[in-house]
Chains A and B, each alone.
Chain A
Amino acid sequence: MWTIERILEVENLHVTFSTYGGTVRAVRGVDFYLNKGETLAIVGESGCGKSVTSNAIMRLIPNPPGKITDGRITFKGKDLTSYTEKEMRKVRGVDISMIFQDPMTALNPTLTIGTQLMEGLVEHQKVSSKEAKKKAIEMMELVGIPSPEERLKQYPHQFSGGMRQRIVIAIALICKPELLIADEPTTALDVTIQAQILELFEKIQEATDVSIILITHDLGVVAKIADRIAVMYAGKIIETGTKRDIFYKPQHPYTKGLLNSVPRLDEKGKLQPIDGTPPDLFSPPVGCPFTARCPLAMEVCDKVYPNQTELSDVHQVNCWLQDERAKKLLASTVSK
């Protein structure tokens, strides 16, 4: 028997931003967990709070204007929200690393690739420059950059977008972190390059057993590499389950809508976009935030936020349609 090690647990996370237009409640009570070696995808439209959530784990929310107002982030048994900035610095890059969306802007244009690769290592592990260089070359080889020795001396503008994203991944992995947060790692890349980068993620996970949180709006990416999926909407996780649960047994109307708005080869002409736009997070709705766009909205949805329904150990959904009374109502409407 082997035990599953729970590496990260986020409970009741709230993040707000105060702007001159008012307070934006970007993340409103998010719960999820991550096991060792697992890949969790957080999926949702832009502005739903998925990037804010990932930045909160790294404690990289710019303060002011942003603030974690409530909740706990437990990483390997320790609550990161109680860490000081200085303690947090020893976590970043060492235990938890992050990959950003746009490789064209994530690298400093005025420093060589080698400097940017090695500086994390030098900062945290006090290795000699020779040792650091050796490790840097190893990393470059792992992420698939040919002739690493010469390329270390080059600047970011001398690399293509796909190559730069490989370098960003190498930088994130050089201190052998246990958790990797990838924020839309393939969005800015060409489709052919996307596939290569996703394969690289699989290869890395095999080689290092790193846990990955994948932030994306692209269900294609999710289908390829995620183990579990959390669907986020307007600052809340509204459904979570395994890849199979979400793709084959989606329960929340929003999850269904997301899946229907992806073009598929087997079903012709059935592309259904979700009407409307997400709610304004300056004054989020009291009830379910999806009500205004939901094809099956009931009076109750506007008034009360639904509790979580456990469909299985890993599959949970927050939706009034799971209530017995709603099921009765739907059955009667259909029979009419």
Chain B
Amino acid sequence: MLQYILKRFLISMVTLWIIVTITFILMVSIPGSPFNDERASNETVQANLEAHYNLDDPYHVQYLLYLKSVATLDFGPSIKQPNQTVNDLLGRGFPISFELGIVTIIVAVISGIVLGIISALRHNGIVDYLAMGLAVLGISIPNFILATLLIQELAVNAKIFPVATWSSPMHMVLPVLALATGPMAIIARLTRSTMIEVLTQDYIKMARAKGLSPWKITIKHALRNALMPIVTIMGTLLAGILTGTFVIEQIFAIPGMGKYFVESINQRDYPVIMGTTVFYSAFLIFMLFLVDIVYGILDPRIKLHKKGGE
């Protein structure tokens, strides 16, 4: 197990290093950015930039210093907002985005799995067709379109929920709904298909032959095996939810990191874009690493394979 964790950790570090390097290369190659010829309009900003990125040093020194600043979780200054650093923005915005993300994941995972199990147990029944029809729709409607639809119908017309911002549980309903529908649909479909496959396995037949109740068979024998593929796609889903917060926060005027990020894109605030990208990448890679460990715990076969492999 330790070897497995170590291996996953090394791979994560290499991935992160590649992203940081790509970011650095892109940063110094943007024509017309403060890193090259153009000087920032504001004196303080220019001073901050030079101090942080050591713009006077040769590239390889800049690169090493940049690696060091990333390693110490220092993501640099902003060029549009004097005396603001990326860390300041993260400190303000990230907790809110994190809250939105966590609630979304919980909602998506629980409802997705429940929906998937019901569909699998009622395989080819009306409930199954209905649930899967909804799931395909959920996958097909982009979250930002769903968000506007929800605002239009449930907030503006029906006035059930507030239109925007992030101040009470009622305010959370629509953004979470818009953000969770896609991942929920994906989880529901995956749970259903793996569940159906698992339910045809010999060990399920064996459990039935032991005279266990359907409930016990589903929970104890089928679900755990059916959950494993879901764990493997969690990383992708997390990435989807994270990028989803960019537009959802924009639409619902939620003061999270995603909103700052989109603003920085529109203002071409390069250091903020780069810094946030590196931070988010590191965050996602760390989550992916955690997911791998959870997978290792769920699947006892992994512990023995000390030399790696499938």
B-binding residues in A (CB < 8 A): 58, 60, 88-94, 97-98, 100-102, 105-111, 119-120, 123-124, 155, 157-158, 168, 171-172
Contacts and interface: CB of A to CB of B under 8 A. Distances in A.
B201 interface: yes
Contacts of B60: none
A123 B211 contact: yes
B206 A60 contact: no
B128 to A, nearest CB: 13
Nearest to A65: B124
Nearest to A94: B211
Contacts of A93: 209-212
Contact of A110 (B208, B209, B212, B298): B298
A92 B214 CA distance: 13
B306 interface: no
Contacts, number: 79
A123 B212 contact: yes
Interface string B219-240: 0110011000000000000000
A94 B209 CA distance: 9
A105 B216 CA distance: 19
Contact of A108 (B208, B209, B225, B304): B225
Contacts of A171: 206, 210
A107 B203 contact: yes
Contacts of A98: 206, 209
Contacts of B220: 111, 119
A111 B304 contact: no
B203 A106 contact: yes
Contacts of A111: 220-221, 224
B299 A110 contact: yes
Interface in B284-305: 298-301, 304
B298 A91 contact: no
A98 B208 CA distance: 10
Given A102-B202, A168-B206, A109 B301 contact: yes
Nearest to B209: A98
Given A93-B209, A105-B203, A123-B210, 18 more contacts: A60-B208, A60-B209, A92-B208, A98-B206, A100-B205, A105-B201, A106-B206, A108-B207, A108-B221, A108-B225, A109-B225, A109-B301, A119-B207, A119-B212, A119-B216, A120-B211, A123-B216, A168-B206
B213 interface: yes
A73 B206 CA distance: 21
A6 B181 CA distance: 59
Given A100-B202, A108-B221, A92 B210 contact: yes
Contacts of B202: 100-102, 105-106
16 contacts: A90-B211, A92-B209, A93-B210, A100-B209, A105-B203, A106-B203, A110-B224, A110-B298, A110-B299, A111-B221, A119-B212, A119-B220, A123-B210, A123-B211, A157-B304, A168-B206
Interface in B117-137: none
A25 to B, nearest CB: 22
A92 B212 CA distance: 8
A120 B224 CA distance: 19
A124 B209 CA distance: 12
A155 B209 contact: no
Nearest to B223: A110
3 interchain residue pairs of minimum CB distance: A92-B211, A93-B211, A93-B210
Nearest to A115: B220
Nearest to B207: A108
A157 B301 contact: yes
B207 to A, nearest CB: 7
Contacts of A94: 211
Contacts of B300: 109-110, 155, 157
A92 B208 CA distance: 8
Contacts of B211: 88-94, 120, 123-124
B286 to A, nearest CB: 26
Contacts of A97: 209
A89 B213 contact: yes
Contacts of B206: 98, 100, 106-108, 168, 171
A117 to B, nearest CB: 10
Given A105-B202, A157-B300, A157-B301, A110 B225 contact: yes
Nearest to A91: B211
Q: Which of B206, B212, B216, B299 has the most CB of A within 10 A?
A: B206
Contacts of A120: 210-212
Interface in B167-218: 201-203, 205-213, 216
A85 to B, nearest CB: 8
Contacts of A110: 224-225, 298-300
Interface string B241-282: 000000000000000000000000000000000000000000
A158 B304 CA distance: 9
B224 to A, nearest CB: 5
A250 B309 CA distance: 53
B204 to A, nearest CB: 8
B301 to A, nearest CB: 5
A109 B228 CA distance: 12
A97 B208 CA distance: 10
A157 B76 CA distance: 50
A110 B304 CA distance: 13
Contacts of B304: 157-158
B132 to A, nearest CB: 18
Contacts of A158: 304
A255 B304 CA distance: 48
A89 B210 CA distance: 8
Contacts of B225: 108-110
A168 B212 CA distance: 16
A220 to B, nearest CB: 24
Contacts of A91: 211
